[in-house]
Amino acid sequence: MQTFAKLGLDEYQLRTVETDRLPRQDLNLPTLGLIGEIGSLSSEVKKKQRDSSAYVNYESAVLEEFGDSLWYLATIARIAGVSLASLFPEHANSANGEVSFSDLQPQHEFQLNTPVAQFERTLLRLAAAAGTLAGGIEEGWYASDKQALAAQLRKICALLIVASNEAGVTLDKAASMSLKKSADRWPKERNYPALFDGEFPVEEQLPRFLSIDIYEREAKNGKHYVLQRCNDIFIGDRLTDNIMAADDYRFHDAFHYAYAAVLGWSPVTRALLRRKRKSDARVDEGQDGARAVLIEEGVATYIFGIAKEFDFFEGQNPGELSFTFLKNVRQFVRGYEVDQSPLWLWEEAILQGNRAFRFLRERRRGTLKVDLGNRTMQIEELAK
């Protein structure tokens, strides 16, 4: 994880602007977000108490919820014209007036604690304080009284410090994690990572340019299936929907080619084109083997199921897909090389794959143009 030495409150507040995707710059939405994150934090505590050691994601979940709470708190303060550092003047460095998270919480490391009764009571107080903030905003109490709003924000921030102490985490780590999480999803600059097979022999690399014809045929029994042709050679099996109610899943290989084009990852495509990395037995088995193929098919099936509910993401632009959806997608591939790919890159692959799928669903045929150099996949008309 990237670390931020002496991360300042105002520095953090400034950096949250880069990932502010809220449609309106008023206090209502970030306040609702703050209440929601405090509720999610309380939910994590409840799960830990209920499931004990069986709940394995407690530490990362708690850090994430603290980080998200800080993000909304910083956003509320920014919209209201309140500096986070100004909430704690007693901690200001005399040289520059900056206040860091480590100033508020001098401990650098904690042992993560199992939630105790005191932590639960602090969370209730935190929820109550956020509720008071929401009520004041709704009633218009803070419209002309910035000092009252700042005092309530300080109270919430102070309770977050107490809660994080009791949870066994530092807000500095939580804030750093929230910045890393935001950059993973909405980076300031989009720099493509190196291709996974760049150091392998060319015959084991995914083709950097690829043209694949995909088209539908009807059998004598009336059944429809899809064929694929690359350089006049037929590849793969004849595909049907494999479901009771037809949904055109037989065109879903467009997703696999999009993963290859954008992510530089597709065990399915490697298998189809015989481009497995056999010069390294561990990579061949662990990254390109049958299990990896099944994982990718599972990812494609999951994405297809979600996309079908949203008209295969028609009209969706980069940055608009659900954060939770993208996290769930990446969870599928934990332990494989592609789990290091950022969420924004996954989103690009998903959107490009669904764009090609919509084209094929409408026209029943097309030519995919895969370009790994530019991390793109285009689709063109295929003459009958």
Q: Give the tens place of pLDDT for each residue, 275-309.
A: 999 999 999 999 999 999 999 999 999 999 999 99
Residue 1 has pLDDT above 50, yes or no: no
Tell me how far apart the alpha carbons of residues 169 and 161 are, in angstroms, rounded to a whole number. Answer: 9
Residue 348 pLDDT grade (very low, low, confident, very high; cuts 50, 70, 90):
very high
Give the whole-number percent of the chain exceeding pLDDT 90. Answer: 69
User: What pLDDT is stored for residue 129 in this prediction?
Assistant: 96
Give the whole-number percent of the chain exceeding pLDDT 70. Answer: 90
Average pLDDT of span 27-34: 95
User: What pLDDT is stored for residue 10 in this prediction?
Assistant: 93
- Which of these ranges, 46-50, 143-147, 263-267, 367-371, has the smallest mean pLDDT? 46-50
Residue 365 pLDDT grade (very low, low, confident, very high; cuts 50, 70, 90):
very high
Cβ atoms of residues 351 and 313 within 8 Å:
yes
Average pLDDT of span 125-138: 95
**Nearest to residue 293, comparing CAs of 320, 344, 238, 253?**
253
**Nearest to residue 338, comparing CAs of 163, 186, 193, 203?**
193
R_g of the chain, CA atoms, integer Å: 25
Q: Give alpha helix (H) positions in 168-288.
A: 171-185, 253-258, 267-273, 281-286
Average pLDDT of span 86-94: 80
Average pLDDT of span 330-344: 95
Tell me how far apart the alpha carbons of residues 22 and 17 are, in angstroms, rounded to a whole number. Answer: 10
Average pLDDT of span 252-263: 97
Residue 149 has pLDDT above 80, yes or no: yes
Q: Give alpha helix (H) positions in the chain.
A: 9-16, 28-51, 58-80, 101-104, 117-139, 146-167, 171-185, 253-258, 267-273, 281-286, 290-309, 323-332, 343-363
Q: Return mean pLDDT, the chain.
A: 89
Q: What backbone torsions phi and psi does residue 242 show, to the nearest 5 degrees?
A: 55, 45
Tell me how far apart the alpha carbons of residues 128 and 42 are, in angstroms, rounded to a whole number. Answer: 12
Tell me how far apart the alpha carbons of residues 369 and 377 are, in angstroms, rounded to a whole number. Answer: 5
- Which of these ranges, 10-19, 50-59, 218-227, 303-312, has the smallest mean pLDDT? 50-59
Residue 109 has pLDDT above 60, yes or no: no
Average pLDDT of span 358-362: 96
Q: What is the pTM of this model?
A: 0.86
User: What pLDDT is stored for residue 160 in this prediction?
Assistant: 94
What the block records as the tokens of 308 is 């079908």
